[in-house]
Amino acid sequence: MAEKAAHYHYALGRRKSSTARVRLMNGKGKITVNGKDANEYFADSKAIMHELMKPFVVLEMEANKYDISAVVSGGGHAGQSDAIRLGIAKALAVMNEDLRGTLRRADLLGRDQREKERKKFGLKGARKQRQFTKR
């Protein structure tokens, strides 16, 4: 049986319809998303991997000192990566309360509350109306 990490810091991150449950523990810099390596899960996207590392870059910390395990559901890759980033930032703030101010100033602890607007009755979409005919 695989050995479990003795101690980890847990945080929940959300974005659009994505929810990420993130565990931050001491390790060698391995990032696992839904049981796969993050590069494999996000198809070697450098932009998404850079987005995931943002909390460490802002804090000028070495990301290779921590292992990150994330279980994410819902949404697409962009929403999922933002949810994981928020989860990492929250876990770092839980780990060390002194980092909270720096993360807050960098806008990494706030949830982006924008969601998809629902379709309204009588319309074609959330706001799109039927084509106007004069005669």
pLDDT of res. 1: 43
Per the document, the length of the chain is 135
Q: Name beta bridge partners: 70.
A: 22, 33
- What per-residue confidence (pLDDT) applies to 4? 58
The predicted-structure confidence for 47-102, as pLDDT tens digits, reads as follows: 999 999 999 999 999 889 999 999 999 999 999 999 999 999 999 999 999 999 99
Tell me the DSSP string of 45-104. -HHHHHHHTHHHHHHT--GGGEEEEEEEESS-HHHHHHHHHHHHHHHHHHH-GGGHHHHH
Domains and CATH numbers, the chain: 9-105 (3.30.230.10)
pLDDT of residue 122: 93
Q: How far apart are the first and last CA of the chain?
A: 74
pLDDT in tens, 13-53: 999 999 999 999 999 999 999 999 999 999 999 999 999 99
d(CA 22, CA 13): 8
Q: What is the pLDDT of residue 63?
A: 87
d(CA 105, CA 55): 11
How much is the pTM? 0.88
